[in-house]
Structure 1
């Protein structure tokens, strides 16, 4: 990877190590939010008096933002572009959030970048600081296409302050209702408010209230709005699950809208993927989204997924049915401030009498594992859920549970919270990167 080329005058050094940058971020408060784009706009104006020389795509929605962003990043790289990918949250280290050509931004680059960001606006929140740092890193490394995943909502999200050349909308559903509003109409209106110019908008199919919000926002700005259907089953994808066919279709349509800017022809919307497009779709990778791992000495076969709300859990359930075999058990955990019970009930309905292990998460917001297990067992003639001390204990217990049928490869499903996956990846960090070398296993 090329080293940074600095174009700014010398300044006082605030950060001398990656650890110092992370300590500063932690002091800002991981969950602390201050609504408004004023700080972001001030920082970007100071760092970039002239608009940065890169094409920027903002990805919004509720479920599927990260996958859509991963597909678009992979599509651009398959056409020879230098890419920057900004996603959230991270599992183990914030370095996961900022990727250059699919590789995390080197820790050695963080202090100098952070110095510039801090000098531009010391008041930035955790997420704002990372967003500006990502954009600065992309400019310094000569990125041609930057893909920015929104963190929460759209109206006040830090990524909305970055001028977008296209916007992608994954499916919008109920989530973060305490912040964005109690109804789907409120939530969709907040996310649609990211449409601030005539830049093209591509969307997955939406519930009527969400569709209406996007249509109104696009019309107000004179932006084209394209709703796409799923890619056909014959197109191989690097990410598993039938719902990924929608996410891939959104990414493909966005790529085709931007391709001429990079000297690539744009096939008609209905055309089958070109060889380069097919390669990009098949190589897409993101950890923790229907992420299959074979058995090893440390754990049985696993299926990891970040499903934590009903919409995500329904997608997981469809994939489990499509697998054609029942999992041997499931590991489910959640945060207390989330409306987790509907998702847990959907998972139990899919599992039937298959065991459900509930580890206690090491997080101040974590739900009590015993209370979760009791709620899952309530009203059932045969209790299936039981609390365990932590993720390591859950994996050990799962290893001792025999598959319901003769299939020894029946996986253990880990789902319910990204923080559950974070504790898993802290035990097995090598699973955070795409299989290498060459093409990863192509999934349905």
Structure 2
């Protein structure tokens, strides 16, 4: 027994390397077969796309739970602990459950990557817990993503945009083609509104694979409050509801309007236009993990709809992102407000705050653009920019890489309290 405590599992994961990738699904398929998960005892929906995967996954899981269906939810990345990635009926898998599960995964497949190991462990945990339904958020792409090795009964495609170009390819067609490969013959696929180029890829792949494609743009949607804020979340919620309606009908699960409303209203996912009131020296905040042009466009619209003008903006991203096309969005969102650019810590892919601040400063005239060493310092400086009344409409906006938000949550774990149970 090599795993006695959760920390032993954490040490193993750290040793694998968070960003280590080794494309191919053979390791995953062999691991799932060895553990009897090639024919799992639950219904599964896979969520693929560029933006909105976590939100759509959350909406779908909440819809199932509201109808009394025991549900496993697998998402990535995490902010503070890998435990955030694996939830059963909204609760993180207890630390005490991890060692035995990790031991079984290790015995079945000792050569898995970080993401593969967690994916198999999550599926095994769901099977052991006797869940009825599993929502699997894909990590990167679709063709060789570890989640694509799992048998599924539905695939959902959130909006596809430019991201991970160095891995998936330099054009939207390249990216959409890779993600579309998550389709399986005879398995229904559900698509949120897409750029025409991406939609063409989805339609072509569906025809090639014999997968019925359901486009959700014009589907009816109830006028009900959503637990996640921003106009773009209606797109994600509609996609989730379309998949839920089909799956519930197919598997004999209940479909009740009041449960739909409560499920959509209960959705909560940290770092998705998450609003936090002022607390102590911490200013009122909006947290958003917009880290590519498509996500920043949605964030810009959400701020306009909410009539929020940030008093200051804190932004940083990874160096392998499409930084050039993100710059105009960040400048517009910041307007004349001070813009603070920390360097993401302990991340080999992080872009230097100094370099990013230099690029963002171009075209901002006399507006303050300043590189800072850490997010804690950026928060301290940004707090000084909030008007004395601290109105919510003058919050500080902290946005960009999810790893930047992770640093914030480590400093302020209370902001994750609703999830960390």
TM-score by length of 1: 0.90
Deviation at 1:403, TM superposition (A): 3.8
- Please say if residues 242 and 319 of structure 1, whose CA atoms lie closer than 8 Å, have aligned partners that are also in contact: yes
Q: 1:307 aligns with which of 262, 269, 290?
A: 290
Q: 2:306 aligns with which of 305, 314, 323?
A: 323
Cα gap change, 1:367 to 1:50, in 2 (>3 Å): closer
Q: 1:364 aligns with which of 325, 343, 348?
A: 348
Q: List aligned pairs for 1:108-147, cutoff 5 A.
A: 108-147=96-135
1:98-137 deviation per Cα after TM superposition (whole angstroms, max 9, x unaligned)? 0011111111100000011011110111000000000000
Q: List aligned pairs for 1:279-318, cutoff 5 A.
A: 279-318=262-301
Say yes or no: does 1:184 pair with 2:172: yes
Deviation at 1:140, TM superposition (A): 0.1
Q: List aligned pairs for 1:310-389, cutoff 5 A.
A: 310-362=293-345, 363-389=347-373
Match of 1:246 in 2: 235
Q: List aligned pairs for 1:48-63, cutoff 5 A.
A: 48=36, 51-63=39-51
1:236-284 deviation per Cα after TM superposition (whole angstroms, max 9, x unaligned)? 1000010000000000000001113443355xxxxxx711101100001
Q: Which runs of 4+ in 1 moved over 6 A?
A: none
SS at match of 2:45: strand
Match of 2:142 in 1: 154
- Please say if residues 228 and 249 of structure 1, whose CA atoms lie closer than 8 Å, have aligned partners that are also in contact: yes
SS at match of 2:44: strand
Q: List aligned pairs for 1:61-100, cutoff 5 A.
A: 61-100=49-88
Counterpart CA distance in 2 for 1:335 and 1:436 is: 26
- Please say if residues 87 and 149 of structure 1, whose CA atoms lie closer than 8 Å, have aligned partners that are also in contact: yes
- Please say if residues 326 and 404 of structure 1, whose CA atoms lie closer than 8 Å, have aligned partners that are also in contact: no
Deviation at 1:381, TM superposition (A): 2.4
Deviation at 1:50, TM superposition (A): 6.2
Match of 1:205 in 2: 193
Q: 1:175 aligns with which of 151, 163, 181?
A: 163
Q: List aligned pairs for 1:34-49, cutoff 5 A.
A: 34-48=22-36
Match of 2:247 in 1: 258
Q: 1:234 aligns with which of 214, 223, 235?
A: 223
Cα gap change, 1:146 to 1:406, in 2 (>3 Å): closer
1:187-206 deviation per Cα after TM superposition (whole angstroms, max 9, x unaligned)? 11110111122111111011
SS at match of 1:354: coil
1:386-437 deviation per Cα after TM superposition (whole angstroms, max 9, x unaligned)? 1122111111111111349994652100011111100000011232243899
Deviation at 1:347, TM superposition (A): 1.8
Counterpart CA distance in 2 for 1:334 and 1:73 is: 29
Deviation at 1:74, TM superposition (A): 0.3
Moved more, 128-137 or 362-371: 362-371
Counterpart CA distance in 2 for 1:131 and 1:95 is: 12
SS at match of 2:214: strand
Q: How many residues in Structure 1 have an aligned counterpart in Structure 2?
A: 419
1:160-193 deviation per Cα after TM superposition (whole angstroms, max 9, x unaligned)? 0000100111000111111111111111111011
TM-score by length of 2: 0.95
Counterpart CA distance in 2 for 1:406 and 1:22 is: 40
- Please say if residues 286 and 434 of structure 1, whose CA atoms lie closer than 8 Å, have aligned partners that are also in contact: no
List gaps (5 residues or longer) in structure 1.
1-12, 267-272, 438-444
- Please say if residues 78 and 279 of structure 1, whose CA atoms lie closer than 8 Å, have aligned partners that are also in contact: yes
Counterpart CA distance in 2 for 1:407 and 1:123 is: 52
SS at match of 1:380: coil
1:295-324 deviation per Cα after TM superposition (whole angstroms, max 9, x unaligned)? 110411100000011100000000111111
- Please say if residues 359 and 391 of structure 1, whose CA atoms lie closer than 8 Å, have aligned partners that are also in contact: yes
Moved more, 250-259 or 390-399: 390-399
- Please say if residues 331 and 364 of structure 2, whose CA atoms lie closer than 8 Å, have aligned partners that are also in contact: no
Say yes or no: does 1:431 pair with 2:420: no
Cα gap change, 1:257 to 1:365, in 2 (>3 Å): same
Cα gap change, 1:88 to 1:246, in 2 (>3 Å): same
Match of 1:411 in 2: 395
Q: RMSD over aligned Cα, in angstroms?
A: 2.0
Counterpart CA distance in 2 for 1:298 and 1:144 is: 44
List gaps (5 residues or longer) in structure 2.
none
Match of 2:154 in 1: 166
